[in-house]
């Protein structure tokens, strides 16, 4: 059974990624982000369907960087014994604390579907946002198949 997606908007800062975590910077294209995420997820042993879910989630987060900020973003990837962790950082700030937690209506203006999708396909989502930028960290449990 999959864990219920959980979000975290503010609070304690996220711990630093471990030394040796893989990092990719991006500015204009999602192609490299998708390839980077898929390669590292496969290498870490994530089942093929979960690799697809993680690629979708990370690409959605990176697309938000390209759509809503002027600067580059960074994807950081690492794994632990129990989970695969992928973090996306950029200079943007999310102003709506409910972003991604409530499914937007199909005809709702302003988007919000990408972050909602991230919460749906990942086992856990942590968000830290403020004037200095946004960090979204997503987790996929090892050994858990997609529904």
2-37 per-position pLDDT tens digit:
333 344 455 678 999 999 999 999 998 999 999 999
b/e per residue, 25-61, with b = 16+ CB within 10 A?
ebeeebeebeebbbebbeebebbeebbebbbbbbbbb
Q: Is the pLDDT of residue 84 over 80?
A: yes
31-69 per-position pLDDT tens digit:
999 999 999 999 999 999 999 999 999 999 999 999 889
With CA atoms as reference, report the closest residue to 45 among 145, 147, 146, 142. Answer: 142
Q: Of the CATH numbers 3.50.50.60, 3.30.565.10, 1.10.10.60, 3.40.50.2300, which one belongs to the domain with range 22-135?
A: 3.30.565.10
Residues shown for the chain: 147
| Helix runs in the chain, H state only | 31-43, 48-68, 113-121
């Amino acid at each position: 059974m999959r864990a219920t997606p959980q979000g975290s908007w503010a609070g304690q800062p996220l711990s630093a990624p471990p030394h040796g975590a893989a990092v990719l910077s991006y500015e204009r294209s999602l192609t490299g982000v998708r390839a980077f995420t898929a390669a590292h997820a496969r290498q870490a042993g994530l089942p093929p369907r979960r690799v697809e879910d993680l690629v979708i989630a990370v690409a959605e987060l990176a697309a938000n960087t390209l759509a809503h900020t002027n600067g580059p973003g960074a994807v950081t990837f690492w794994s632990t014994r129990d989970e695969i962790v992928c973090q996306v950082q950029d200079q943007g700030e999310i102003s709506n604390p409910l972003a991604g937690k409530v499914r937007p209506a199909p005809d709702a203006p302003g988007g919000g579907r990408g972050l909602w999708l991230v919460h749906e396909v990942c086992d856990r989502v942590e968000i830290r946002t403020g004037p200095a930028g946004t960090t979204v960290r997503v987790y996929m449990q090892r050994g858990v198949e997609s529904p």
